[in-house]
Amino acid sequence: MRKAVLLVMAMALATTLLPSAPSMAAVVPLIERFHATCSHFSVQFTMQGYTDDANGFDRVRYEVRDGRGTLLYSEDSVRMVNAVQTASVVNLPYTHAMPAQNPIIFRIVDTDFMQRPVGVLAERRVESACLAPISRADYFASLLPQGVKGYTRAETALYSAPNSAPIGISLAANREFTGIYRTVDGNWIALYVGGENLVWVRAEDMDMPLEGLLYEPSRIDRSQQVTGAVVPPVPLGSVTARFTVNFRAGPSLDAQRLGRVPWRATVPVYGRSADSRWILINFNGVFGWVAARFFRFNNGLSLASLPIVG
């Protein structure tokens, strides 16, 4: 009888000491689409923050590698625990190297609070058309997020990038195309006209509503970037929360809530919105927006002295 009791106690202790495993059905990211060329890649995926690495945030890394294992792109990101988010980006350029061998692989890597790799959460492999004799134009077209339809006002020259020389190809007048991105100054629009890359046109040559277009991304995870803003490389001062305040991806009540900044938390501040109702801060390594009226400005800093960054 005593041996049985001791065995039960030992099993209970072992169970207590074992780390709790997350529910895989709830946490495995879903990579809906991935496409790669020899210069850019496009991806769409949905995932949930589930490991509390620090202060209620989960840290992950996005990687793109080629068939030789060469790192083409890497991005560290954080998201609020239990928050389910979808990321979708088209035509993001590689930042480390160009691919040399198929397949090209996109991975979502789990990292710890120091952003050291822990394991691969999900991956997707594709055979790139630039490295194999196959056509991917139709597949690339299916990757396009919800764009904005518009028409060419007249014969319109195409450009490989804003403010570059024309590439020698033009679009006919009164043709419908889908706009994907715009520049911050509103002078250029990125169009999808077929094939595997976007092209740029002057905004004045298109009959298309600019307000419906996104700014061209520099990251996969939009919650980690300030869309269209030029952020100072260092904070301009600090602010202290007078209440527990919602922390959002953009300067709007409609923007996605990334978390909450607790009462009395002091955080670095980088700028303000054009209407001065919102300020850009960095909270636990994440850039985001909070309502300016709920914060106290420290060490002589004022709202009016901050640059407009969004």
Tens digit of pLDDT for each residue in 118-152?
Answer: 899 999 999 887 776 545 555 556 656 667 899 99
pTM over 0.85: no
Is the CB of residue 36 less than 8 Å from the CB of residue 99? yes
Would you place residue 222 in the very low, low, confident or very high pLDDT band (cuts 50, 70, 90)?
low
Question: What are the φ/ψ torsions at residue 43 (nearest 5 degrees)?
Answer: -155, 150
CA–CA separation, 243 and 263 (whole Å): 4
Find the mean pLDDT for residues 150-166.
Answer: 92
CA distance 104 to 301: 48
pLDDT at 23 over 80: no
Which residues make Cβ contacts (< 8 Å) with residue 39, sequence separation at least 6?
93, 94, 98, 197
Per-residue confidence at 234, pLDDT binned at 50, 70, 90? low
Domains and CATH numbers, the chain: 24-138 (2.60.40.4070), 146-215 (2.30.30.40), 226-305 (2.30.30.40)
CA 126 – CA 142 distance, rounded (Å): 15
What the block records as the tokens of 125 is 């492999």
Q: Are 81 and 50 in contact (CB under 8 A)?
A: yes
Bridge-based pairing state of the strands 57-65 and 71-80: antiparallel
Q: What is the CA radius of gyration of the chain?
A: 23
Two tokens, residue 237:
């001062």
Give the Cα separation of 271 and 289 in Å (integer): 10
The per-residue pLDDT for 94 is 92
Residues 53-69, mean pLDDT to the nearest whole number = 85
**What CA–CA distance (Å, rounded) separates 148 from 180?**
7
